[in-house]
Structures are given as C-alpha cells and as structure tokens.
Amino acid sequence: MTVNSITRYFLVVALVLAGSGLPATIGAAQTATVSHAGSQSQTEARGSAAARIEPLRPGFELPNGQTLHYEADWRFVTAGVASFHLERTGSQEHITGSADSTGVVALLFRVADRFNSYFDAKTLCSYKLIKHTEEGSHRRETIITYDYSRGKAVLEERNLKDNSQKRTENDIPGCVTDVVSGMLYVASLPLQQGASYSFPLNDGGKTVTVRAHVEGKEQVKTPAGTFNTIRVGPEGEYGPLKNRGGVWIWFTDDAQHLPVQMRARLFWGTLTIYLTSISK
C-alpha cells in the first residue's frame, strides 16, 4: 500500500473531500446532466465553466463541536484510523484532522498525518491549509495560503528529512475549497437525487474541477449505527479520483449530511472507510 493510497483516501475521501488530493478547483454549482454527444474537451469545458463554490445555504448547519472518528478496512483487516473535529472561531471554521495507519499496514508502511484547515464560515472559501505528513520515509511540513486578492495559492513546504524548502504559486479562481474541507463542502450541498455538482479544489498545485454525482439512497450499517444515506460518486482529475476504479461517499439522508462511509475500489483492492463514533 502506497503513501497516496492511505493518506489521500483517508483525507480526501474520508474527510473530504474526499482523501487526499481532490482537484484544485472545487465548486458547488448544480449542473444539468451532460449529454454524451460532442467531444470530451467540450464536456470538460462546460464542467469547468460551471464549477464554483456556493455559499452556505440557509438552514444548513456545519457540525461544529463534533469529532467524527473513522476506521478503514482493506482486505478484511483494519488499515488505519482517521478523525476530524470542527470548531468555529469568529467568521472562520477550523478543521483539525488526522490519519494514521495501524496494525499490519502500519508495519508495512507508516502513516501519521495531521491537518488544519481554515475556511470562511459563510462563503466556504478556504483560507489556509497546514499539513504535517509522515508517510514512510517522507516527512514534510506544508502550508498552503489562498491569496484571493492576487488570485494565487501559495505553497510553502519544508522537507523534515533534509531541511530543504520550496515555494510555489499557482492560479486560483475567486473561491476554492481544499482537500480537507472539501468533504464538508459537498455535505453542505442539497444533494438532490440525480443531481451533479461541480466545484474547484486546490491542494497547492493546479486547481482542478471535482464533480459530485448523487447516485441514490440506501441504508448503511456502521459501528456508529444504522443510517439512511445518500450515495455520492465524486470524480475529477486529482490524485485519488483520477483514472481510478471508483470512489463513493455515503452521507446521512437528513439535515446534517454527515459522511458515514467512503469506499474506493482500486486495482489493489477495495478500501472501505466507515464512521465508528461521534464525540464532542
């Protein structure tokens, strides 16, 4: 199991949106189903044009003060654990997230990642993402700042192994989400049956468009309980979502839209991430 396999799926898929690196450009606009007629480039152009982040819709409340705990299974063994906690401070929301490999998987490949995501409580635009990643022999400190006044995502990264540093800037639109807050952004959408939503996501590099398709409803049982859920299938050109066998997220079919289960079907097997408990 590789670094990207564990970390990206825990955080983009498990915590948002969705493990992770999602496309750098994530928007929340509902779009009509695109006809298969026409070229692929035309379809992508239409999707990119529609991609945007919608502000928090009236009546929806983010799960402030709650900590969601997850476990991940791979080939009938527990591969790791993940969690995130959301708190509001003034006009900002702050997500604290973690992802760790466990058991046999940890012996094969150690992952101990910590994330802090800051975004606007009303517009849902990301302000800053701080990542401390320990993945096998790789150890890095990364800070991504979203400078909307200049239209740039500024990435500053330090390699903790050799103390080398790099700084890059990439273009962003007027509002983006990041790979940690992205899942909560998807949860904030109406998630109407059969709808598709496109939004821009940025992880410090090129902004990408993520498309979230509402596929159907079903009942899901996890250690945290049995839930009526809405199944969403995200896709895009970012890391875990690009050219993969399939990724799905199950949100509760209620006012909160809590992510209770995620599944990634890849060439090396299926990884299932499920909610184990909720604490405050």
| H/E segment holding residue 46 | helix 40-50
Amino acid at 5: S
153: pLDDT confidence band, cut at 50, 70 and 90? Answer: very high
More confident of the two residues 130 and 269: 130
Contacts of 39 (CB under 8 A, 6+ apart): none
The separation between CA 152 and the C-alpha centre of its own chain, rounded to angstroms, equals: 20
Contacts of 92 (CB under 8 A, 6+ apart): 118, 119, 120, 121, 127
Contacts of 42 (CB under 8 A, 6+ apart): none
Using a 10 angstrom Cβ sphere, with 0-12 exposed, 13-18 middle and 19 or more buried, the burial of residue 211 is buried
Q: 228 — phi, psi (to 5°)?
A: -80, 125
71: pLDDT confidence band, cut at 50, 70 and 90? Answer: very high
Residue with tokens 């990408």: 208
Which of 152, 143, 154, 86 lies closest to 119 in space, CA to CA?
86
- Supply the pLDDT for residue 101: 87
Per-residue DSSP letter, 25: B
- Supply the pLDDT for residue 158: 97
Best-predicted range by mean pLDDT (140-149, 236-245, 260-269): 140-149
- Region for residue 149 given its phi and psi (left: phi exceeds 0; alpha: psi -120 to 50; beta: otherwise): alpha
Residue 113 has pLDDT above 80, yes or no: yes
Alpha-carbon gap, residue 24 to 232, rounded angstroms: 19
- Supply the pLDDT for residue 242: 53
260: pLDDT confidence band, cut at 50, 70 and 90? Answer: very high
Residue 49 has pLDDT above 60, yes or no: no
Q: What is the mean pLDDT of residues 249-262?
A: 95
8 Å CB contact between 165 and 156: yes
Alpha-carbon gap, residue 125 to 177, rounded angstroms: 6
Q: 105 — phi, psi (to 5°)?
A: -65, -40
- Within 124-255, strands assigned E span 126-135, 138-147, 152-159, 165-171, 196-201, 208-222, 225-236, 247-252
Best-predicted range by mean pLDDT (106-110, 150-154, 232-236, 259-263): 150-154
26: pLDDT confidence band, cut at 50, 70 and 90? Answer: very low
Residue 12 has pLDDT above 80, yes or no: no
Q: Which two tokens stand for residue 83?
A: 């969690």
Neighbours of 146 (CB within 10 A): 23
Neighbours of 226 (CB within 10 A): 10
Residue 204 has pLDDT above 70, yes or no: yes
8 Å CB contact between 86 and 95: yes
Question: What digits encode the pLDDT tens for the residues 212-233?
Answer: 999 999 999 999 999 999 999 9
Residue 40 has pLDDT above 60, yes or no: no
- Supply the pLDDT for residue 266: 66
Q: What is the CA radius of gyration of the chain?
A: 17
- Supply the pLDDT for residue 107: 84
